[in-house]
Structure 1
Amino acid sequence: MKKLLILPLLVLTAACGQNKKDVEEDTLTRLSQAVKGNYVDTMTLRLQDFTRQTISNGKLMAVRKSTLRFGTTGTIEQVNFINGQKVREGELIASLDQENASIALAQAENALSKARIDMNDVLIGFGYGDADTSNVPPATMAIARTRSGYDDAEQTYRKALSDLRGTKITAPFSGKVAGIKARVYENAPSEEFCTLIDDSSFEVTFPLLESEIPSVRTGMPVKISPFNNPGKTYTGRITAINPMVDEKGQIQITASVSNSDGNMMDGMNVRVTVEEIIPAQQVVPKSAVVMRDNEDVLFVYQAADSSARWVYVDILMSNSGSHVVQVNQERNAQLELGDAVIISGNLNLAHESKVIVRQ
C-alpha cells in the first residue's frame, strides 16, 4: 500500500515542477519582449500615383499562324523539320515523290503545243497567218481556240503545273513547325500536314465586365503572366476593344505582347492585369492597414511620446500591393499628409502602444 501511495506523489511532484518551469519560461518570454519593445517601420504619407489593376484570364494566339497542306496526293519523300523546330521563310518543310507529277506536266506541255499548232491551222483557214494574232477579231479567235482544243489544253497544263508545285510545302514566313501529321513513305494527308506558327509575338483575348470598360482604352499597358509560371511577367498593350456586350455582360479585349524570351506558346493560358495610373492619391502598403473593432485602421507614429495612434480609414481602391485610403469620417478620424504611417510591426499594436522606429 505504501508503494502505491508513493507513486502518485512522485507524479504530482513532477507535474508541479513542470508547471512551475512553464510559468517561469512564459514570464521570461514576456520580460524579453518587454525589453525588446515594439519595433516598427514607417513611411511618410504623401500624395502619389496609384496603379489601379483589373485582372482577367485569357489565352495566347499567334499573330501569324498557318495550316500547311500539300496541293496534291502522293507519297511523302522528305520531311525536313520536326515539331518545335524553327524554319526560315522559303525553306522546304516537306515534299512528295514528284515522278508522276513531272510526267503529267510533260504530257500537258506536249498537248498544249499540239493545240497551239491546231489553233494556228484554224486561223489560217480564216485567212490569218500564225506570225501575229493581234489583228484577229475576238470572235474569230474564240472559235479557233475552241475548235483546236487550245483552251482545254491550257487548263490541263496549268493544273499539271499546280500539282507539281503542290508536291512541296515551303514556309510562307519564319516560325516554328507544329502538329506534323505524317512521316516519310506515308501518303500525304487529305487535310493539313502541319501548322506554322510565328511565335515572335502574340495576341491575348480576355473578357472584362461592362462596368470595367470605362477605364479601359487602346494603348493602355497590360501585364501578362503564364499560369505555369506566375512569377514571370511580360508587358503588352491593348490593341482592340470589341464594341459588343455578350450575354454574360462581358466585353472582349485584345492585347499584343512580344515573346521576348521565346517561352510563350500558342494557346497558353495566361493572367492579364490591366493597369491604369490614377494621380494624387493617399497610397499605403497593404501591410499598413489592419483590422480593429472589425474596421480598417492604420497606425500613425507620434514622435512626441513614441507611441502609435490608430486611425480609422476607408479603403477606396486596392491593387496587388497597395491601398488608397481616406479617413473614416463617421469615426471623426484624423489623418494628414506628412504623418508617419507605420507599415510593419503593427499586427499586435494597441492604441497608444509604445513603439521604437527602426533606423
Structure 2
Amino acid sequence: MLSLLSKPARQLTVAFAITAATVTGLTFYQGGARAQTEAGTPPPPTVMVTQLEQQQIRTWASFSGRLAPVASAQIKPLVGGTIQQVNFHDGQQVERGQALFLIDPRPHQAALARAEAQLTAAQSRLALARHELERARQLLTDKLISQSLFDAARNEAQIAEAAVAEAQASSLQAELNLEYAHISAPVSGRISRAELTVGNVVEAGPNAPILASIVANDRLYAEFDVDEQTFIHFVRATEDPQTMPVELTLASDKSVIYEGKLHAFDNRLNTETGTIRARAIFENIDGALTTGMFAEVRLGAPQLSQALIVPERAIGTNQNKKFVLVVDADNTARYREVNLGKQWRGQRIIDGGLNAGDRVIVGGLSHVRPDTPVTPQPAAPANSVAASL
C-alpha cells in the first residue's frame, strides 16, 4: 500500500508510526515502573497504642516477713505436786480460763486449813491484847500502875496485831497455792501437746518444767524490715502510720490476700542493715495462718497520688537508658527517653519523659523503628484502676 502513496505521504506515515510506537513503549515502561514501585513499598506497620492519662494510684512497697503470735504463753507449774489431770487434747483450741492441768490439791488444802487456824488464833490473841491495853490505860489514868506497865501492855497489843497480819498473809499465800494447783489457760489459742502427763511430779521455781504452750491464732503479727528511704517517705506522708494499708500473701500460696493494718515501727534503726523493724497485724480469716510462716508483706502509701503509668512491655533498654516509642500527630514513631519510678500492679510509674496525652506504643514494637510511619490502633483497656487501689 505504501508503494501507491506519494513519497511525502510515505514519509509522514512512517514518522507517525515511529512516534506512536515510541509513545506506546514509554507508556508501557512508566506503567511497569509505577507498578513495581507500588509493589515494593509495604504499608506502615500497625501498632497498638495507649494514650496516657493521669491516674490516681496508691504506691506499694514489698517486703519479706515472718508471722508471729499476738499472744502466746508457756504453761509452767507455780506449785509443786503430782499431776492428777490433763484436761485437753494435743493441738486443741482452748479458751482463756479453761482448765488444763490439775496438780494434787490436797497438800495445799491442808496448808490453807493450817494457815486459817493460825489466823484465828492470832486474832484471838489480838483481841485479848487489846482488852488488856484498855485496862492498863484505865489503871494508868487512876494512877494505879506505872507508865512502864502500860507501855508493856501496848507493846503486847502491837505484837498481836503484827501476828494477825502475818497469819493473814500466810492464809492468802496458801489460798493462792491451792488456786495455782488448778492450772487454766491464760490466753485463748491453740495448745501444744502435754509435755508431762498424769502421775508425773513437778516442782515450782526457776527450773520448773514447761507443761505445754499456747499460741493465739485468731490474729497474728507479720514482722518485716523496712528500708530507711521507704520509712522516711511513708512516715512523712501521714501523721498516723497506722492508717497505712497493709496486704499479706503467703509465700507458698498467693491466691488469698489478707488485709491488715500497720501496728507499729520499732524505736530505732538497725545500723548494720539500714532497716527498721515493723509490725503489721492481720486477722486469721480462714485459719490458715500459723506462727513462723514466711510471707510477703506489701505496705501501701497512706494517700493516693497522681501518676502516669505504662505497661512494662512498652519499655525498652538502650545501654543504661530506658525509652519508649510514642506516636506523634503525623503517625510517626518517635524515640522518647524516660525516667522510671516504682512498679505498680505489673506496670511502671513514669517519673519523667512523658506527658498526659502521649500515645505510647505497647504492641507491635518488633516491626517499628524510630522516625518511621506507623498505623496506630488503640490497645485493649487495662483493668480498672479503682479495682487495684
Q: Given the alignment, which residue of 124, 129, 132 partners 2:131?
A: 124
Cα-Cα RMSD:
3.4
Q: What does 1:20-35 correspond to in 2, within 5 Å?
A: none
Deviation of 1:113 (Å)? 2.3
Aligned residues of 2:67 and 2:291 also touching (Cα < 8 A): yes
1:225 to 1:292, Cα distance in 2 relative to 1, 3 A = same
Q: Given the alignment, which residue of 339, 348, 353 partners 1:314?
A: 339
Deviation of 1:320 (Å)? 5.1
Deviation of 1:165 (Å)? 0.5
Say if 2:297 is the partner of 1:272: yes
1:40 to 1:235, Cα distance in 2 relative to 1, 3 A = farther
Q: Deviations over 1:99-124 (max 9, x none)?
A: 22222222322332233333333333
Bigger Cα Rg: 2
Using the size of structure 1 for normalisation, the TM-score is 0.71
Identity %: 23
Structure 2 residue aligned with 1:210: 228
Q: Deviations over 1:183-212 (max 9, x none)?
A: 222233614423333322223332222222
Q: Given the alignment, which residue of 253, 260, 284 partners 1:229?
A: 253
Letter in 1 for 2:98: E
Runs of 5+ consecutive residues of structure 1 not aligned to the other structure: 1-36, 129-136, 329-334
Runs of 5+ consecutive residues of structure 2 not aligned to the other structure: 1-43, 136-152, 236-240, 381-389
Deviation of 1:216 (Å)? 1.8
SS in 2 for 1:159: helix
1:169 to 1:110, Cα distance in 2 relative to 1, 3 A = same
SS in 2 for 1:343: strand
Q: What does 1:61-140 correspond to in 2, within 5 Å?
A: 61-127=68-134
Aligned residues of 2:129 and 2:156 also touching (Cα < 8 A): no
Deviation of 1:153 (Å)? 3.1
Structure 2 residue aligned with 1:240: 264
Aligned residues of 1:308 and 1:355 also touching (Cα < 8 A): no
More strand per residue: 1
Deviation of 1:279 (Å)? 2.1
Structure 2 residue aligned with 1:193: 211
Say if 2:197 is the partner of 1:183: yes
Aligned residues of 1:70 and 1:168 also touching (Cα < 8 A): no
For 1:246 and 1:100, the matched residues in 2 are separated by: 52
Deviation of 1:47 (Å)? 0.8
Letter in 2 for 1:106: A
Structure 2 residue aligned with 1:291: 317
More helix per residue: 2
Q: Given the alignment, which residue of 334, 337, 359 partners 2:356?
A: 337
Deviation of 1:231 (Å)? 4.1
Q: Deviations over 1:279-334 (max 9, x none)?
A: 221111222223356643334467976x7655432313334512122565xxxxxx
SS in 2 for 1:297: strand
Letter in 1 for 2:70: V
Using the size of structure 2 for normalisation, the TM-score is 0.67
Q: Count residues in correspondence.
A: 307
Q: Deviations over 1:14-72 (max 9, x none)?
A: xxxxxxxxxxxxxxxxxxxxxxx988654331111243332222333322323332220
Aligned residues of 1:178 and 1:196 also touching (Cα < 8 A): yes
SS in 1 for 2:112: helix
Aligned residues of 1:318 and 1:324 also touching (Cα < 8 A): yes
For 1:188 and 1:274, the matched residues in 2 are separated by: 47
For 1:40 and 1:78, the matched residues in 2 are separated by: 77
Structure 2 residue aligned with 1:156: 170
Aligned residues of 1:295 and 1:312 also touching (Cα < 8 A): yes
